[in-house]
A and B are shown apart, each in its own frame.
Chain A
Amino acid sequence: MTTAPIKFYQVGSYAIGNRLLPSAAGSVQSDADRTNALTSGHRACQGCGEALGARYALDAAMRVANNKVITVNATGCLEVFSTPYPETSWRIAWLHSLFGNAPAVATGIAAALKAKGRTDIRVVGQGGDGATVDIGFGALSGMFERNDDVLYICYDNEAYMNTGVQRSGATPPAARTSTTQAVGEAPGNVFGQGKNLPRIAMAHEIPYVATATVADLRDLENKVEKAMQMRGARYLHVLVPCPLGWGSQSCDTVKIARLATESGLFPVFEAERGEVTASKKIRRQVPVEEYLKLQARYGHLFSPKRRDDVIDHLQAMADRNIVRYDLLESAGE
């Protein structure tokens, strides 16, 4: 009659660590000796999701690559807040050139390492959504189609935050930015525009494409580990909420990322050679409203007049993701 699971560890793998498990089974972030690729003293805003995402991803990459990683950073918040001359927050080999050329510079470094026979050193390119989706897109697409041996990570906070929250190709519909104000009949960013970069990356049929968020560390670390064990062009797209640009409370950064996935608005999945191979199932489904109402950039959907039409439209987008990426546990499981 008593059918208890044999293994049950209180918080399972949801929390960062777990005192009931041997430390080898713990996440990189639970390790007191983690790299801290991006260390204290950086000038990111309170509650910055990008600073968190970058440390999560790079610490994991460092562990897999035995600390032999060179990082190329595009221009953007992450670059600006981490390296105001003469200070740096980086505790790994790190290089910044221009806004639009990070994938190309990464490609060059990978080629140089290959020429020198140092393929044990791995290259990670990274940037925000502006550098990735818009400004550096040509270079990135070239890196993909040549299948250069680089893991490129996009920290997506859905606008140009560093320069004052201007719309990017990754800004979602209805979101208010400084260039898509909440005025007129269709306030905020328009529907039907923008790019879905993970799908564009998949269209290049590169070895590995995945999405992740700062709300699920284990999933993010697993994907970095998997990507680092492969060669060729790999792409990781990480959702990183921005308290400043999204108008959310600094304490809610991780919570908002979690609601983005639990509502279905941000699908978490992985794909190999252009085919989706797995998706992270929604655990406690919520309506998109739960996600939207914590962010001032969607405030115009709730006041002065509630815009059910727009909320429904966003819900339809979430529902489409749920079907497209098979985000719900199928019945009977």
Chain B
Amino acid sequence: MKKPYAITLDVESSLANHTGSWRVERPQYVNLMPPCNNACPAGENIQNWLYIAEDGSYEAAWQALIQENPFPAIMGRVCYHPCQDVCSRAKLDEAVGINSVERFLGDLAIAKGWKIPAPEHASGFRVLIIGAGPTGLSAAYHLRRLGHDVTIRDAAKVAGGMMRFGIPKYRLPRNILNAEIARIQEMGVHFQLEHHVDNLQDAIDDGFDAVFLAVGAQIGKRAYIPACEAARILDAVSVLRDVEDGQAPLLGRRVVVYGGGNTAVDVARTAKRLGAEEAIIVYRRTREKAPADDGEIQEAIEEGVLMKWLATVKHAEEGTLKIEKMALDANGFPQPTGEFEELEADSLVLALGQEVDLSLLSNMTDLQIVDGTVQVDSRMMTGRAGIFAGGDMVPADRTVTTGVGHGKKAARNIDAWLRKGEFTKAETPEVIEYEKLNPWYYSDAPHAMRDRLEGARRATNFDEVVKGLDEETALYEARRCMSCGNCFECDNCFGVCPDNAVIKLGPGLGFEINLDYCKGCGICVTECPSGSIIMVPEKS
């Protein structure tokens, strides 16, 4: 080719110049553990189902959610959402209302009749579950999805356990509870209700290959309180159970509840609804130290429940209680002050925690019991091979969500044990820190609040207190998620690369670094909103 004067080479593109050779570090796309997922006792992949819900794919989001937890509508009401306590968005404005979106998805699933996918092909194994509370139901659900033949036995007439007999209707309407349990029944789990298991060995001999114990903790703890015979003292678990059975106990005009946990608050709020003029919670420590969820305490106060912090009941007589004032010592423990006062009370309800009924284990000597709970290993297996236990029976937080998590964990380990394998949990990635995010890019958006019935009005009936979100608000709330540690395809890396070295693979496929040209400047890492790109050193 004839070239102009002094030109000897053909013009070519700079693509011939592989600037990737300059690089000493390379960007790498990662999926890190968002704080919410890390905090979820049921092991939900929250960031993932929020991400799916963000474009309106609610059914797909619900399907992703129920891979870990079969009760979104229940969770969206009774879970104390530890996920929201650690949500990164709280550092920007307010935590994402994860719980309210979960409830929205759960309620929508019930309304639309979305189905759980058919179980895997039959394994041929039979598993017995004792206890149809959240833990047992969760285990049944997961075992059934894995293809096992599952039988669940419970002494009560209806399934649900503490979700039915411990959580009042105004927090968890029974049609919701029933709908989510019915779905598990439809999967082909055999329910044997009003079937009290008093001898575990006999049950095992019925031909089961594995057993999961989840009988819960339902015996109210009694504290020794000197009392005259006429004093009316009840325990919280029985009160809540009787109310559920339609046999509300006579509590009188003034009810004192002794204890500072969620059960105490539930009883006090229930007493108000049963017509008590006054319901007073007496607790030996302060509100900050009370184990009850602060939101629950707030709702109770709004309904007119009175709180007496730093007080213990010393003596109970007919119509009155003798209360001793307490004071916190330097270590934050309550100490008696010697100051007393009288409190009018027609009844005293003790909500001092619950114990496990271990009678069914009486002839199982190889099961280790410590402090009234059954000991299990990391697989949730007891001292006897093939017998697993979870929920309130074993040492752990006693919440519905923890129980659901136990059920899942036990199910996966039972499945592995039955198949003579070992369940290996996928490796947990590192939890992403807030400092690794670039919050600049998220639109300003405060939390959408859920409507609540007005305190005074709701205290007179058992209607559900907290209302759900409509679709628009749920979508808004889902979109507040910052996708911590996981790419959500905002195109920032693709845009900010001065070397045009990021390849956009298309919707849902993410991006790839073109290492021929990436100089390793790291702008994509700094400008990634969700912190899902990291720099790693090149091998020398």
Please list the residues of chain A having a beta carbon within 8 angstroms of any beta carbon in chain B. Answer: 1-2, 4-6, 8-12, 14-20, 26-27, 29-30, 32, 36, 38-44, 46-49, 51-52, 55, 82, 85-89, 217, 243, 249-255, 258, 284
A-B contact count (CB 8 A): 178
Are B494 and A29 within 8 A (Cβ)?
yes
The answer to whether B504 has its CB under 8 Å from any CB of chain A is yes
| A255: contacting residue among B22, B490, B527, CB under 8 A | B527
| Alpha-carbon gap, A5 to B388, bound state (A) | 49
| A41: contacting residue among B19, B55, B472, B529, CB under 8 A | B19
Given the known inter-chain contacts A2-B451, A17-B491, A17-B495, please indicate yes or no for A87 contacting B479, CB distance below 8 A.
no
Q: How far is the CB of B9 from chain A (nearest CB, A)?
A: 4
Per-position 1/0 for B441-475, Cβ under 8 A of A: 11101001111000000000000000001101101
Are B488 and A46 within 8 A (Cβ)?
no
| Alpha-carbon gap, A61 to B10, bound state (A) | 28
Are B18 and A16 within 8 A (Cβ)?
no
| B500: contacting residue among A55, A85, A250, CB under 8 A | A55
| Alpha-carbon gap, A258 to B494, bound state (A) | 18
Q: How far is the CB of B470 from chain A (nearest CB, A)?
A: 7
Given the known inter-chain contacts A14-B442, A217-B495, A251-B526, please indicate yes or no for A87 contacting B521, CB distance below 8 A.
no
| B441: contacting residue among A11, A30, A32, A39, CB under 8 A | A11
Interface-forming stretch among B289-297, B398-406, B512-520?
B512-520
Are B473 and A2 within 8 A (Cβ)?
yes
Contacts of A27 in B (CB 8 A): 491, 495
Q: How far is the CB of B452 from chain A (nearest CB, A)?
A: 9
Closest to B11 in A: A86
Are B500 and A11 within 8 A (Cβ)?
no
The answer to whether B225 has its CB under 8 Å from any CB of chain A is no
Are A41 and B527 within 8 A (Cβ)?
no
Q: How far is the CB of A226 from chain B (nearest CB, A)?
A: 20
The answer to whether B186 has its CB under 8 Å from any CB of chain A is no
| Alpha-carbon gap, A4 to B445, bound state (A) | 9
Query: What total of chain B residues lie within 8 Å of the partner, measured CB to CB?
Result: 61
26 A–B contact pairs at CB < 8 A? Answer: A2-B448, A2-B469, A2-B470, A10-B442, A16-B494, A16-B496, A36-B500, A38-B500, A39-B13, A39-B14, A39-B500, A40-B501, A40-B516, A41-B16, A43-B17, A46-B519, A46-B521, A82-B14, A86-B12, A87-B12, A88-B14, A89-B14, A243-B521, A251-B521, A251-B523, A254-B523
Of residues 396 to 440 in B, which have CB atoms within 8 Å of A's CB atoms? 440
Given the known inter-chain contacts A4-B473, A11-B442, A87-B17, please indicate yes or no for A252 contacting B495, CB distance below 8 A.
no
Per-position 1/0 for B479-492, Cβ under 8 A of A: 11100000011111
Given the known inter-chain contacts A15-B490, A43-B19, please indicate yes or no for A30 contacting B495, CB distance below 8 A.
yes
| B492: contacting residue among A9, A15, A52, CB under 8 A | A15
Are B22 and A87 within 8 A (Cβ)?
no
Interface secondary structure of B, over-half rule: loop
Q: How far is the CB of A91 from chain B (nearest CB, A)?
A: 8
Q: How far is the CB of A20 from chain B (nearest CB, A)?
A: 6
Are A254 and B526 within 8 A (Cβ)?
yes
| Alpha-carbon gap, A89 to B13, bound state (A) | 6
The answer to whether B525 has its CB under 8 Å from any CB of chain A is yes
Contacts of A38 in B (CB 8 A): 500
Contacts of B442 in A (CB 8 A): 10-11, 14
| Alpha-carbon gap, A293 to B325, bound state (A) | 56
Given A40-B514, A52-B523, 4 further pairs, Cβ under 8 A: A14-B440, A17-B489, A17-B495, A87-B16
Q: Which 6 A-B pairs have the closest CB atoms?
A: A17-B491, A16-B495, A251-B522, A41-B14, A47-B521, A12-B443
Are A47 and B523 within 8 A (Cβ)?
yes
Q: How far is the CB of B523 from chain A (nearest CB, A)?
A: 6
Contacts of B489 in A (CB 8 A): 17, 19
Are B498 and A29 within 8 A (Cβ)?
no
| Alpha-carbon gap, A87 to B16, bound state (A) | 8
Closest to B508 in A: A19
Are A40 and B500 within 8 A (Cβ)?
yes
| Alpha-carbon gap, A221 to B491, bound state (A) | 15
Greatest chain B CB density within 10 A among A14, A26, A89, A249 is at A14
Closest to A9 in B: B479
Q: How far is the CB of A244 from chain B (nearest CB, A)?
A: 12
| Alpha-carbon gap, A51 to B16, bound state (A) | 18
| Alpha-carbon gap, A49 to B496, bound state (A) | 9
Contacts of B318 in A (CB 8 A): none
| Alpha-carbon gap, A278 to B480, bound state (A) | 29
Are A41 and B18 within 8 A (Cβ)?
yes
Contacts of A44 in B (CB 8 A): 498-499
Given the known inter-chain contacts A16-B495, A255-B526, please indicate yes or no for A40 contacting B14, CB distance below 8 A.
yes
The answer to whether B330 has its CB under 8 Å from any CB of chain A is no
The answer to whether B15 has its CB under 8 Å from any CB of chain A is yes
Are B55 and A20 within 8 A (Cβ)?
yes
| Alpha-carbon gap, A11 to B15, bound state (A) | 33
The answer to whether B124 has its CB under 8 Å from any CB of chain A is no
Contacts of B15 in A (CB 8 A): 39-41
The answer to whether B209 has its CB under 8 Å from any CB of chain A is no
Are A47 and B54 within 8 A (Cβ)?
no
| Alpha-carbon gap, A258 to B495, bound state (A) | 15
| Alpha-carbon gap, A229 to B331, bound state (A) | 72
Are A19 and B488 within 8 A (Cβ)?
yes
| B520: contacting residue among A46, A89, A254, CB under 8 A | A46
Given the known inter-chain contacts A32-B504, A39-B14, A254-B496, please indicate yes or no for A20 contacting B54, CB distance below 8 A.
yes
Contacts of A252 in B (CB 8 A): 523, 526
Closest to A81 in B: B14
